[in-house]
């Protein structure tokens, strides 16, 4: 069933209703709750901007309207008209005394998501419906707030946003690649990072950031891995690794403060302990990789100098801190080829991971970039990467090389930490994981 009603005014939304108390209003939405005593009925509906309770006294509505009520099922789309009244007990502080009810689209009785516990696989199979539920709406609004805050942060600081290619020939990180045939050019790879293009853009524009989807064909089934995730990658000319970390802590503090200021209702909906977030203000502690290994060994970890740090190690390292923690200057062998050799200890590189508190793990990976042409070329060969594909990248070191650094913030991991959700699959509208391509 479909209805079209060309209208000269924009539809009223539930969030507009507090301004319309005392008037008659008309709104459209979907039924989320129904109950009736036989004499008085209640419809709770949602429209994506809020919830509205409509009160339907049998005596005060027409027989036809009362019958319409009887035909409602969960998720039926409806239009209601009636008087907007103050009711302090309701979310939004208003309710509607219903006068008219129109069914726009019926909803079959077997709507998959019922008011009961569902397993997560079932919910993911029904993600197109799961998204309609209050917790999911809150997470997506917080995600949107973070996305907007990211753009505001960089815009206010004079960064240029650069959109880097998703189909690439060059390779960025070590983890798995998704390949697709590309006409006569051989394989194209879905971008794992926009960074290398970001570096070229930094030489053109000074301060840039990218904001786009990135892809990793990793066979990881952890609560922190998606095969498609969104990454924000600033790249700044003439910033060294220290300036890079200052930018990261200012950035993360800004994002957290913004959500606290503008999304308190959503943080309540997801059950977040905001007292933990309120403490997140720069500066963040910095721990040298070597010291981190010593701390971990004292805590009983089997990690050895030279190893990359795993999820368990990361949790152990943050357990004594309330702030995100920088782990600095990892061994060269554990990190990507493009990181700058540490002049004070050439076994290591000038880089950092930023670990989120409360065991949410690595939220950011950043580094100063190798700006020495020959050292970079040697690292590319050492890693057995195809030097030809990196010719343009090496050129950046041939024509006016420059100190520069940048980082990548994983959006879903950041949303997961700020919302306090255990798994990042809830932090993107339609998650892509090793065993999930639908819906
Ligand atoms: O540490 P990564 O691999 O760093 C880079 O890609 C660099 N090119 C960034 C840069 O310096 N411009 O990834 C950066 C962040 C991680 O810290 C994590 O938050 C997120 O991206 N990330 C993932 N998020 C979800 N699923 C995955 N499979 C992820 N892999 C990385
Ligand atoms: Mg990393």
Do 409 and 297 fall into the same domain? yes
Q: Is 404 in the pocket of ligand 1 (CB under 6 A)?
A: no
Q: How far apart are the CA of 133 and the centre of ligand 2, in A?
A: 33
Contacts with 224 (C-beta within 8 Å, 6 or more apart), sequence order = 311, 361, 362, 413, 416, 424
pLDDT for 258 equals 98
Contacts with 70 (C-beta within 8 Å, 6 or more apart), sequence order = none
Do 276 and 385 fall into the same domain? yes
Mutating to test ligand 1, I would choose from 168, 191, 241, 410 the residue with most ligand atoms within 8 A of its C-beta, which is 410
Token code pair at residue 435: 């065993």
Do 286 and 387 fall into the same domain? yes
- Phi/psi for 12 (5° steps) reads -75, 140
Do 100 and 155 fall into the same domain? no
Q: How far apart are the CA of 240 and the centre of ligand 2, in A?
A: 18
The CATH code of the domain that includes 76 is 2.40.50.140
Q: Is 425 in the pocket of ligand 1 (CB under 6 A)?
A: no
Mutating to test ligand 1, I would choose from 201, 365, 413, 416 the residue with most ligand atoms within 8 A of its C-beta, which is 365
Token code pair at residue 35: 């109950």
Q: Measure the CA angle with vertex 223, ends 348 and 128; round to 5°.
A: 135
Look up the domain containing 175 and give its range. Answer: 127-427
In angstroms, the Cα distances linking 247 to 207, 343, 405, 409 are 12, 22, 10, 12
Q: Kindly state whether residue 18 falls inside one of the protein's structural domains.
A: yes
Q: Kindly state whether residue 193 falls inside one of the protein's structural domains.
A: yes
Environment of ion ligand 2 (residues, CB < 5 A): 365
Which residue puts its alpha carbon closest to atom 22 of ligand 1?
410
Q: Kindly state whether residue 122 falls inside one of the protein's structural domains.
A: no
pTM listed for this prediction: 0.96
Computed over its alpha carbons, how large is the radius of gyration of the chain?
A: 26
Q: Is 411 in the pocket of ligand 1 (CB under 6 A)?
A: no
Do 155 and 213 fall into the same domain? yes
pLDDT for 91 equals 80
Do 168 and 257 fall into the same domain? yes
Q: Is 413 in the pocket of ligand 1 (CB under 6 A)?
A: yes
Which residue puts its alpha carbon closest to atom 28 of ligand 1?
225
- Give, rounded to a whole angstrom, the gap between the first and last alpha carbons of the chain: 23
Atom of ligand 1 at shortest range from CA of 233: 12
Do 37 and 186 fall into the same domain? no
Listed residues 105, 136, 170: the one ending a domain = 105
Q: Kindly state whether residue 110 falls inside one of the protein's structural domains.
A: no
Atom of ligand 1 at shortest range from CA of 353: 17
Q: Is 172 in the pocket of ligand 1 (CB under 6 A)?
A: yes
Local confidence pLDDT in tens for the 439 residues of the chain: 556 565 778 899 999 999 999 999 999 999 999 999 999 999 999 999 999 999 999 999 999 999 999 999 999 999 999 999 999 998 889 999 999 999 999 999 999 998 889 999 999 999 999 999 999 999 999 999 999 999 999 999 999 999 999 999 866 666 689 999 999 998 899 999 999 999 999 999 999 999 999 999 988 888 999 999 999 999 999 999 999 999 999 999 999 999 999 999 999 999 999 999 999 999 999 999 999 999 999 999 999 999 999 999 999 999 999 999 999 999 999 999 999 999 999 999 999 999 999 999 999 999 999 999 999 999 999 999 889 989 999 999 999 999 999 999 999 999 999 999 999 999 999 999 999 999 9
Do 347 and 403 fall into the same domain? yes
Between CA 209 and CA 302 the distance in angstroms is 38
Q: How far apart are the CA of 63 and the centre of ligand 2, in A?
A: 64
- The ligand with the least distance to the CA atom of 364 is 1
Q: Is 324 in the pocket of ligand 1 (CB under 6 A)?
A: no
Which residue puts its alpha carbon closest to atom 29 of ligand 1?
225
Q: How far apart are the CA of 364 and the centre of ligand 2, in A?
A: 7
Q: Kindly state whether residue 196 falls inside one of the protein's structural domains.
A: yes
Do 302 and 221 fall into the same domain? yes
Do 233 and 171 fall into the same domain? yes
Q: Kindly state whether residue 117 falls inside one of the protein's structural domains.
A: no
pLDDT for 173 equals 65
How many domains is the chain built from? 2
Q: Kindly state whether residue 6 falls inside one of the protein's structural domains.
A: no
Q: How far apart are the CA of 374 and the centre of ligand 1, in A?
A: 26
Q: Is 407 in the pocket of ligand 1 (CB under 6 A)?
A: yes
Q: Kindly state whether residue 356 falls inside one of the protein's structural domains.
A: yes
The CATH code of the domain that includes 417 is 3.30.930.10
pLDDT for 159 equals 98
The residue written with tokens 């005014």 in the block is: 9
Do 85 and 153 fall into the same domain? no
Do 167 and 283 fall into the same domain? yes
Contacts with 94 (C-beta within 8 Å, 6 or more apart), sequence order = 17, 18, 21, 52, 84, 85, 86, 87
């Amino acid at each position: 069933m479909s209805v079209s009603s060309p209208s000269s005014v924009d539809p009223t939304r539930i969030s507009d209703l507090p301004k319309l108390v005392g008037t008659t209003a008309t709104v459209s939405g979907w039924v989320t709750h129904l109950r009736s005593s036989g004499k008085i009925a209640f419809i709770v509906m949602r429209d994506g901007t809020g919830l509205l309770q409509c009160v339907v006294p049998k005596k005060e509505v027409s027989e036809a309207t009362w019958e319409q009520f009887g035909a409602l099922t969960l998720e039926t789309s409806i239009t209601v008209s009636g008087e907007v009244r103050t009711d302090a007990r309701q979310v939004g502080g208003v309710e509607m005394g219903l006068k008219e009810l129109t069914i726009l689209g019926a909803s079959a009785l077997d709507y998959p998501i019922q008011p009961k516990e569902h397993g997560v696989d079932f919910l993911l199979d029904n993600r197109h419906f799961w998204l309609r539920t209050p917790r999911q709406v809150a997470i997506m609004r917080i995600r949107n707030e973070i996305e907007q805050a990211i753009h505001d942060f960089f815009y206010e600081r004079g960064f240029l946003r650069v959109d880097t290619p998703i189909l690439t020939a060059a390779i960025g990180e070590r983890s798995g690649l998704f390949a697709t045939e590309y006409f006569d050019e051989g394989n194209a790879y879905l971008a794992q990072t926009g960074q290398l293009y970001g570096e070229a853009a930094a030489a053109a524009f000074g301060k840039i950031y990218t904001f786009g989807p990135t892809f990793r064909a990793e066979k990881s089934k952890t609560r922190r891995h998606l095969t498609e995730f969104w990454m924000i990658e600033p790249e700044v000319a003439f910033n060294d690794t220290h300036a890079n970390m200052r930018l990261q802590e200012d950035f993360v503090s800004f994002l957290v403060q913004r959500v606290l200021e503008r999304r308190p209702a959503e943080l309540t909906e997801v059950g977040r302990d905001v007292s933990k977030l309120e403490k997140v203000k720069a500066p963040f502690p910095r721990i040298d990789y070597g010291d981190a290994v010593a701390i971990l060994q004292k805590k009983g970890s089997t990690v050895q100098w030279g190893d990359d740090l795993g999820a368990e190690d990361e949790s152990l390292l943050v357990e004594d801190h309330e702030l995100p923690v920088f782990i600095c200057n990892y061994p060269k062998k554990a990190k990507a080829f493009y990181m700058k050799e540490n002049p004070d200890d050439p076994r290591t590189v000038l880089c950092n991971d930023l670990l989120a508190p409360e065991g949410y793990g690595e939220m950011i990976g950043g580094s100063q970039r190798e700006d020495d042409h020959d050292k970079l070329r040697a690292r590319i060969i050492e890693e057995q990467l195809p030097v030809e594909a990196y010719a343009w990248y090496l050129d950046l070191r041939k024509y006016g090389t420059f100190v520069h650094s940048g980082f990548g913030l994983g959006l879903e991991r950041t949303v997961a930490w700020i919302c306090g959700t255990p798994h990042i699959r809830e932090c993107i509208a339609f998650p892509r994981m090793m065993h999930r391509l639908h819906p």
